Amino acid sequence: MIATAKIPGHKGELRCYHHDGAYEVWVDHTELMSTRVFGSEEALAELALERLGHRKAPRILIGGLGMGFTLARTLALVSEKAEVDVAEIVPEIVKWNEELFGHCAGHPLKDPRSNLIVRDVRNLIEESPDTYDVILLDVDNGPEGLSRPGNDSLYNKTGLKMIRKALRQDGVLGVWSSDDHAKFNARIRAERFSVELRHVKARRTKGARRAIWTAKRL
């Protein structure tokens, strides 16, 4: 173990490990992220941007910096005029990206299109009506809060209505989850979105199955 961090609103801690050339971040007994396994995090950006279609200067919000792979893939797929806000609530995650493992994703925070915001993504969404073309949520382990129970409020009925207000017309919400979530699947389909659920492998061609929802605002 090389570093630890407190999680706002949670009694546990994040633990960062480095071994055999890879970095991992764990909470309690669950691995949250790894520099070895990031194919599904890239797929989150790909699937959401595919549904959005071409826009000359999209405004994008990523909830959860993680190890930067979703951000890096987003930047690779959008134009030079795009703006990409990244909300991360744990300052140490930002520090670890800057000092430990940012090179694994190509240091996407250094891209001038990136705008890092160290705060709760839920509060940012609430304060940003009709602002974003795409909102990508890789917060916690999906719709069921693991590292921070307060994250549940992003994925409940009130949270989904708030997200819809923050999206521009025909904007797209992308949600990453470590597993299927029947209640969330039913909940998002009950809102005014056109919803698609896709399953991808954690390592692109192998590994555990991950769930990704893309929901276009109607």
Q: Provide the residue type at 185 as one letter.
A: N
Per domain, the residue ranges of the chain are 38-217
Burial (CB count within 10 angstroms: exposed 0-12, middle 13-18, buried 19+), residue 27: buried
Query: For the segment 69-117, what is each residue's pLDDT rounded down to a tens digit?
Result: 999 999 999 999 999 999 999 999 999 999 999 999 999 999 999 999 9
Query: For the segment 165-211, what is each residue's pLDDT rounded down to a tens digit?
Result: 999 999 999 999 999 999 999 999 999 999 999 999 999 999 999 99
Q: Which helix (H) or strand (E) holds 188?
A: helix 182-189
Q: Provide the residue type at 68 as one letter.
A: G
Query: For the segment 15-32, what is each residue's pLDDT rounded down to a tens digit?
Result: 999 999 999 999 888 899
Could you tell me the fold of the domain covering 38-217?
Answer: Rossmann fold (3.40.50)
Question: What pLDDT is stored for residue 145 in this prediction?
Answer: 57
Query: For the segment 119-176, what is each residue's pLDDT rounded down to a tens digit?
Result: 999 999 999 999 999 999 998 778 875 554 566 789 999 999 999 999 999 999 999 9
* Distance, CA of 105 to CA of 108 (rounded, Å): 7
Give the CA dihedral 103, 104, 106, 108, nearest 10 degrees.
-90
Query: For the segment 35-69, what is each residue's pLDDT rounded down to a tens digit?
Result: 999 999 999 999 999 999 999 999 999 999 999 99
Question: What pLDDT is stored for residue 94 in this prediction?
Answer: 98
